[in-house]
């Protein structure tokens, strides 16, 4: 019936080490960060004829699910209403620890003149208490794994529905895509 197979500690050790190495590689695979708009706060309404600007603070929750800490540069997030650039939120340079969450407060300025070009749609949105905004940003930086530093870029697209009266976030869809540059 059979041949007797001799069991070996060396084979067991090699098998366990191989399984551990594969599990480590799979868990170290870069993952897309997540972004979630928590709140919008109106801080100023400036009337300098013919310009009207609204200044806001956007509170954004960011999660870095990766095993490497990151350092990122400053950039601006573009905010659109009905396909028109309405304003920008400033993202200051910073860093984030590995596998961590943090809350960013982004100073934002919206141009009232650009909003006036869509006055009919805006007042209809105010009446139904739902306004749809889109936002796009590219965030570049560097992640260091052991002694290797790799540049990266994260592109974020957001589709956000807000209450234009109370500035409550009603719904949102955020998509991020991480790109890592292996060559320096």
The answer on pLDDT for 55 being more than 60 is yes
- Residue 2: band (very low, low, confident or very high) from pLDDT cuts 50, 70, 90: low
| pLDDT at position 52 | 86
| pLDDT at position 1 | 57
Return d(Cα 108, Cα 46) in angstroms, integer. Answer: 13
The sign of the dihedral angle between the CA atoms of 76, 133, 105, 43 is: positive
The answer on pLDDT for 169 being more than 70 is yes
CB-based contacts of 182, cutoff 8 Å, min separation 6: 150
- Residue 28: band (very low, low, confident or very high) from pLDDT cuts 50, 70, 90: low
CATH-assigned architecture of domain 33-181? Sandwich (2.60)
- Residue 27: band (very low, low, confident or very high) from pLDDT cuts 50, 70, 90: low
Structural domain spans, the chain: 33-181
Closest by CA position to 47, among listed 129, 136, 116: 116
32, 139, 142, 174 from 184: Cα distances, Å:
21, 17, 11, 29
The answer on pLDDT for 183 being more than 90 is no
């Amino acid at each position: 019936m059979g041949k007797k197979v001799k069991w070996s500690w060396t084979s067991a050790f090699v098998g366990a080490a191989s399984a551990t190495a594969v599990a480590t590689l799979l868990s170290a695979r870069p993952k897309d960060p997540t972004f979630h708009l928590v709140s919008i706060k109106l801080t100023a309404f400036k009337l300098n004829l013919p310009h009207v600007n609204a200044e806001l603070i956007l509170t954004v929750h960011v999660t870095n699910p990766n095993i490497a800490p990151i350092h990122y540069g400053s950039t601006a997030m573009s905010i659109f209403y009905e396909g028109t650039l309405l304003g920008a939120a400033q993202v200051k340079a910073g860093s984030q620890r590995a596998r961590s969450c943090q809350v960013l407060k982004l100073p934002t300025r919206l141009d009232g003149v650009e909003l006036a070009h869509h006055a009919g749609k805006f007042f209809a949105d105010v009446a139904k208490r739902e306004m749809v905004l889109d936002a796009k940003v590219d965030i570049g930086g560097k992640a260091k794994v052991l002694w290797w530093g790799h540049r990266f870029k994260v592109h974020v697209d957001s589709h956000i529905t807000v209450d234009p009266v109370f500035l409550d976030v009603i719904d949102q869809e955020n998509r991020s895509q991480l790109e890592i540059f292996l060559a320096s």
